[in-house]
């Protein structure tokens, strides 16, 4: 139970790097602002180096694109395979889902109908190991 506030705080820090204009609202509670898919993709690409460095060598490349109501985020690593991806999602899948929910909520607040987030986890040759799809 002690770890949950730490995870929540880390999630808020991640979201702040993903979304333009996110920050703390009243009483230190994280407040998600509106963001279009293209604004989210731009913010992700601006922070690619930070995201790579925070991955502690797991991610070698991070690139986001947007089309219509969808953001596609491709994370590449030579250290990823089906087993490591499975273990990572087992250990922190709820945190990934929480970040995805906040991103989708941000798009909904911006008036995006049926927002979608797709995260492609690939090996260093560009082969997709796992695709995570989220929609609101």
pLDDT in tens, 43-80: 889 988 888 888 788 889 999 999 999 999 999 999 88
Whole-structure pTM value: 0.79
- Distance from C-alpha of 130 to C-alpha of 49, rounded to nearest angstrom: 22
pLDDT in tens, 5-19: 434 445 556 566 566
Per-residue model confidence (pLDDT) at position 55? 79
- DSSP state, 26? G
- Which of 5, 41, 48, 51 is CA-nearest to residue 20? 41
Residue bearing the bigger pLDDT, 36 or 84: 36
Alpha carbon distance, N-terminus to C-terminus of the chain: 28
- Which of 37, 131, 45, 9 is CA-nearest to residue 82? 131
**Domain 3-135: which CATH class?**
alpha beta
């Amino acid at each position: 139970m002690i770890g949950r506030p730490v995870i929540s705080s880390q999630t808020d820090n991640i979201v702040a790097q993903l979304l333009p204009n996110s920050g703390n609202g009243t009483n230190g509670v994280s407040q998600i602002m509106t963001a279009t898919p293209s604004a989210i993709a731009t913010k992700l690409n601006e922070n690619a180096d930070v995201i790579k460095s925070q991955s502690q060598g797991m991610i070698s490349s991070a690139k986001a694109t947007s089309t219509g109501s969808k953001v596609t985020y491709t994370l590449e690593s030579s250290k990823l395979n089906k087993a490591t991806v499975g273990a990572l999602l087992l250990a922190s899948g709820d945190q990934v889902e929480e970040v995805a929910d906040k991103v989708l909520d941000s798009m909904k607040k911006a008036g995006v109908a049926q927002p979608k987030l797709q995260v492609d986890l690939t090996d260093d040759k560009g082969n997709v190991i796992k695709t995570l799809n989220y929609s609101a």
